[in-house]
Amino acid sequence: MRGSRRRRATDDAGSPSPLVLLGPRGGGLALRDVVGELEAGGALSPGARIAAITAGWRDREANEGLIDPRLADRVVDLELYRRSDRIAEADAELARAHRETRDRLKALRRAYNLRLHGLIEAHRRLGELRGDASVLRAERGEALAAIRRLDARHLDRVVEIRSEFERRTTLPERDAVRSQRREVAARLEGTEAIVLEGGHVGNLLSRLRLFGGRKLLDGRPVIARSAGAMVLTERVVLFHDRPPWGEGHPEVFDAGLGIAEGLVALPHASARLALDDRTRGARLTARFSPASCVLLDPGHRIDRAGDGWSGSEDLERLDAAGRRVPFCTAA
C-alpha cells in the first residue's frame, strides 16, 4: 500500500489525475472493474474509499442500487442534492434568488430554441436546393455559421446570467453554504477517488457548482457515468432527434466544468440520435467542431491519456460527414 501511495504522489505531481468517462449502465462494463484497473495501475490503494456524487438522481440519492453493490462498503455518498435542499431551507433569500435565475434561464432557453429551430430548418432547406454549386455552397456555409454564432451567444448568455447570480448572492460567504461545504469536505477526507453518477444533467450540474464545481473534484481520480460525463465537458449538449412530441434538435444547455476537454459527450446516442441521417450528423459535428462528438452507448468507455483520449475498442464518434467511425480514427 505504501508503494501505491508513492506512485499516486508522483502521478499527481507530474500529470493530471485519471479521468474515466463511461456510457450508461449496461454493456458488460461494471464500475467495480474500472476501480480494479485503477488499483492495479497504482492510481488507487487496494480497498480505497470512494466518494460518490448521485445528485442527478434527486430524491433517489444515496440509494444503494445506484452504485455497484460490490463497492457498497467502500462508498461515501456526499449527498449533494439533500444538502442543497438544506441550504434552501436555511437561506430563503438565496432560494428566492435561485428561483428567479432559473426562471430567467428558462425564458432564455425558450427564445434560443425558437431561433435555433428556424436556423436549422433554413440550413436543411438550403441543403435541398439545386442550382449553382458555388453559390449554394457559400449560402449553406453562412447558414451553418449562423447556427454556430447562435450556439456561442446562447452559451455566453447562460454563463452571464449564472455569474450574475453568483456575484449577487456571494455564495461562498453565506452561512448555510459554508456549513454544508465544510461537511462535504469532511466526508471527502480519507477518500481517494470520486464516482460521478448520471441522472438529470441540470440538477447534477447545479449541485456541483453549489459545492465548488471543479474544485470539488480536483486532486482525485474521477469516474463519471452518462450525465456525469456530460457535466465534465466544456459544453453540455442536450439531444433527442426523435422525441415523442416531434422532431428535436441538439441544443446547447450550459457550460460544463471543462475538465474533459475536446469532447461532446452523447450518452445513449444510438437510442436518441438519428444516426442513419448523415445530414443531421454532419450538422451536429460541424456545430461543435473542433470538439469530437462521442457516442457513449452502454458499455463504452473513454480515458484521459496525456493531452488526449483513449477509447474502448467499440467506442465511436461522428466524423465531418456525419458517419459513425471508430473513436481512434484521426479527425
User: Buried b vs exposed e over 127-159: b needs ≥16 C-beta within 10 Å?
Assistant: eeeeeeeeeeeeeeeebbebbeebbeebbebbe
Domain span at residue 202 reads: 13-87+174-326
Contact between 54 and 200 (Cβ < 8 Å): no
Whether omega before 290 lies within 30 degrees of 0, making that bond cis, reads: yes
Domain end (from 169, 190, 225):
169
Do 111 and 203 fall within a single domain? no
Burial of 167 (0-12, 13-18, 19+ CB in 10 A): exposed
Nearest to 258 by CA among 301, 298, 305, 215: 215
Do 245 and 271 fall within a single domain? yes
Contact between 268 and 24 (Cβ < 8 Å): yes
Contact between 241 and 248 (Cβ < 8 Å): yes
Q: Is residue 183 part of a domain?
A: yes
**Number of structural domains in the chain:** 2
pLDDT score, position 30: 87
What CATH number corresponds to the domain at position 301?
Answer: 3.40.50.880
Q: Is residue 4 part of a domain?
A: no
Q: Cα 55 from chain centroid?
A: 13
Do 81 and 98 fall within a single domain? no
Q: Is residue 316 part of a domain?
A: yes
Domain end (from 148, 169, 190):
169
pLDDT score, position 16: 82
User: What CA–CA distance (Å, rounded) separates 297 from 312?
Assistant: 11
pLDDT score, position 150: 98
Q: Cα 323 from chain centroid?
A: 23
Do 31 and 118 fall within a single domain? no
The tens-digit pLDDT sequence of the chain (331 residues) is: 323 333 343 344 557 899 999 999 888 788 899 999 999 999 999 999 999 999 998 767 665 556 777 888 899 999 999 999 999 999 999 999 999 999 999 999 999 999 999 999 999 999 999 999 999 999 999 999 999 999 999 999 999 999 999 999 999 999 999 999 999 999 999 999 999 999 999 999 999 999 999 999 999 999 999 999 999 999 999 999 988 777 789 999 999 999 999 999 999 999 999 999 999 999 999 999 999 999 999 999 999 988 889 998 899 999 999 999 999 854 4
Do 64 and 124 fall within a single domain? no
Q: Is residue 5 part of a domain?
A: no
C-alpha cell read off for 135 = 453559390
Contact between 238 and 251 (Cβ < 8 Å): yes
Do 231 and 179 fall within a single domain? yes
Q: Is residue 331 part of a domain?
A: no
Length of the chain: 331
Do 159 and 231 fall within a single domain? no
User: What CA–CA distance (Å, rounded) separates 315 from 227?
Assistant: 17
Do 67 and 189 fall within a single domain? yes
Do 135 and 251 fall within a single domain? no
Do 200 and 314 fall within a single domain? yes
pLDDT score, position 118: 97
Do 164 and 22 fall within a single domain? no
What are the distances in angstroms from CA 121 to CA 85, 124, 128, 143, 280?
Answer: 41, 5, 11, 10, 11
Residue 51 pairs with which residues in a beta bridge?
76, 194
Do 101 and 65 fall within a single domain? no
Q: Is residue 271 part of a domain?
A: yes
Domain end (from 169, 190, 210):
169
DSSP, res 260: B
Q: Is residue 151 part of a domain?
A: yes
Contact between 232 and 283 (Cβ < 8 Å): no
